[in-house]
Amino acid sequence: MPTTGNMTRKIAPILFFYLASALAAETPADKYVEYLPGTMPLILEVPHDGTESYPGVAERTNPKGFPAFRKGRDTNTAELARRMQAFFLEKTGKKPYVVVMKLARKYIDVNREEERGVENEKVAQVYRHYYAKLHEAKNDAIQRFGKGLMLNIHNSTTWQHDVYFGSGGMKAVKPLIQRAGFNAYGGEFSIQQALADKGYEIPGYKNIPQEQGPTGNVNRALTWVDKDSKLDAIEIEINSKKHMETPENLEKFAQDFSEAVLKFVQRYYL
């Protein structure tokens, strides 16, 4: 009859093997990218809410002097995306894809070209993995549904009004416009109009003057660079002071924004 000591000696190498395999299966790139698969043609992308550091890697310093260099966090945008996924699942039985960069913007900016967004080869691997997951979400959505919408979610402390929208001069929503007309992006059934109807200040709606918002030059490699792309992309900039900094404000905005997006998605993507 085997003794306890003998059994321990036999089991220990097996346990070590499985533990080592599990650790090897998760690369540093995996660790810093959160990917939640979806079951509907909506992708929620959160590039700037990361809080984690990369051991042994210095913060970005922009030695080449690229313009629009930023290191600030878009606080609670990841939580907003997760709440939106839960909302859609509850209301429709389907859920959007969610892709979140967990590494702090001090080390990486995935909303810029790689040359501008990273300064270290280890971090560059995280950058490429993030885009691999975005492509995975895009390809899966297009293959299953024939079209898709990606929301590039940000917030800011500098905007005057509630929510700003950008689409790269309509280039990033070209598939939607070709399919449903110009008014599909900003008309009666748009996300902008739905939020304005709820009382939010949206430039260009409900007597709020039109003004320059975000460029909407979001992830061009996923959208209009591909002339046959079926993915639309909209950049969202939320007034963080009004809607993201307290649990109560975040809860209300998550509900209202989810309802507005659902109305838009049901009309043009489902």
**What percentage of the chain has pLDDT greater than the value 90?**
70
185 and 113 belong to one structural domain: yes
Residues 169 and 114 in one domain: yes
Range with lowest mean pLDDT among 10-19, 94-103, 156-165:
10-19
Do 51 and 112 reside in the same domain of the chain? yes
250 and 116 in a common domain: yes
Cβ pair 48, 109 in contact under 8 A: yes
| Statement to judge: residues 56 and 163 lie in one domain | yes
Q: What is the pLDDT of residue 1?
A: 52
- H-assigned helices in the chain: 4-25, 28-31, 77-92, 114-117, 121-145, 174-180, 183-186, 191-197, 240-243, 247-268
pLDDT of amino acid 212? 65
pLDDT at 14 over 60: no
CATH of the domain at 109: 3.40.630.40
Token digits for 202? 């949206």
CB atoms closer than 10 angstroms to residue 8: 11
Pairing of strands 163-166, 231-239: antiparallel
The two structure tokens encoding residue 239: 């007034």
95 and 212 together in one domain = yes
Task: Give the model confidence (pLDDT) of 108-134 as tens digits.
Answer: 999 888 999 999 999 999 999 999 999
**CB contact at 8 A, 32 and 118:** no
Same domain, 6 and 56: no
Asked if 263 and 165 sit in the same domain, the reply is yes
Judge if 54 and 122 occupy the same domain. Answer: yes
Contacts for 121 with CB less than 8 Å, ≥ 6 apart: none
Q: Give 29-55 pLDDT, tens digit per residue.
A: 889 999 999 999 999 999 999 999 999
Asked if 232 and 171 count as a contact pair (C-beta separation under 8 A), the reply is no
Q: pLDDT category, 17, cuts 50, 70, 90?
A: very low
Do 17 and 59 share a structural domain? Answer: no
Across-strand partners of 150? Answer: 43, 233
| Structural domain range at position 10 | 1-27
Residue 159's pLDDT is 82
Amino acid 39: pLDDT: 97
Q: How many domains would you assign to the chain? A: 2
pLDDT one-digit tens code per residue, 130-178:
999 999 999 999 999 999 999 999 998 888 899 999 888 788 898 999 9
Which one has a higher pLDDT value, 258 or 26? Answer: 258
Q: In the 8-state DSSP scheme, what is residue 103?
A: B
When mean pLDDT is compared over 2-6, 8-12, 40-44, the highest value belongs to 40-44
Domain identity same for 22 and 60: no
Q: What was the pLDDT predicted at 228?
A: 61
On whether both 209 and 103 belong to a single domain, the answer is: yes
pLDDT at 169: 79
